Amino acid sequence: MIINGKKVKTNGYFAYEGCHKMYVCESDADVEMMRGYGYDILPIAELPKTYKRSCPLKFINSANLKTTYCPQCREAKFSESEVSK
Give the pLDDT of residue 83.
Answer: 47
Per-residue pLDDT reduced to its tens digit, 54-67:
999 999 999 999 99
Strand 59-62 and strand 40-43: the pairing is unpaired
Q: How far apart are CA 50 and CA 15, in angstroms?
A: 11
Global pTM reads: 0.91
3-state secondary structure of 5: coil
Per-residue pLDDT reduced to its tens digit, 16-54:
999 999 999 999 999 999 999 999 999 999 999 999 999
The counts of H helices and E strands in the chain are 2, 8
b (16+ CB within 10 A) / e for 9-33: ebbebbbbeeebbbbbbbeeebbeb
